[in-house]
Amino acid sequence: MVSLQEFVAKYNGKSKTVDGNYPTKQPYQCWDIAELYCREVLEIPHNPWALPTGDGTAAGSYLLMPPDISTYFLRKKRVRVPTGILNSRPQYGDLVFWSKELPGSGGAGHVSICLSPYEQNRYGFLGFDQNWSAPKALRTAHNYSYVLGYLRPRKAIK
């Protein structure tokens, strides 16, 4: 088992694919780095996938949440209360999912690993993801636009 920090150091700046170079136009997808995180940090068995999507999209892992991953994650929905403030923020190690309506996602949404919620700014977090601004895994500042919610690992993350 590797820690999340070791995982980030190992893959930062690298392009990774685990699904046979799919899609061929851009094989380095956000889901690939999330899948590796589930395998290497969370140690979820993969046969063939540790993070199945259900429909082939990044958002599908959250929206459809196949039963075989519910033993490893709690699904947390992002909801605004009447004041407009989020009722929850992602925690260190959560998988953060964007909706299929996310502009530029081709209807697939997006997924990122939360490294740090911004404590002073309720409207963003630092994530580690691939294919946001480049076909590489990078630390990226995100806001909550189009975020659906989070899959929170049941296992403590070191």
Is 158 part of any domain?
no
- pLDDT computed for residue 156 by the predictor: 85
What is the predicted pLDDT for the residue at 81?
A: 61
Higher-confidence position of 155 and 96: 96
DSSP string, 75-133: EEE--B-TTS-BS----TTPEEEE-TT-TTSTT--EEEEEEEE-SS-TTEEEEEEESSS
Tokens 């690298």 locate to 14
Mean pLDDT is lowest, of 26-30, 82-86, 94-98, 118-122, for 82-86
| Strand order across the beta sheet in which 147-153 lies | 73-77, 147-153, 95-98, 110-117, 124-130, 137-143
pTM: 0.92
Q: Distance between CA atoms of 41 and 155, rounded to whole angstroms?
A: 10
User: In the chain, what percentage of residues exceed pLDDT 90?
Assistant: 64
User: pLDDT (tens digit, 9 = 90+) per residue, 29-71?
Assistant: 999 999 999 999 999 999 889 999 888 899 999 998 877 788 9
Tell me, yes or no, whether 21 lies in a domain: yes
| pLDDT on residue 22 | 67
pLDDT at residue 142, as a whole number: 94
Q: What is the mean pLDDT of residues 101-106?
A: 94
Residue 83, pLDDT > 60, answer: no
Q: Check which CATH number belongs to the domain holding 85 and give it.
A: 3.90.1720.10
Q: How confident is the model at residue 111 (pLDDT cuts 50, 70, 90)?
A: very high
Question: At residue 96, does pLDDT exceed 80?
Answer: yes
**What's the domain count of the chain?**
1
Average pLDDT, the chain: 88
pLDDT of 157 higher than 80: yes
Could you tell me the residue range of the domain that residue 140 belongs to? 4-153
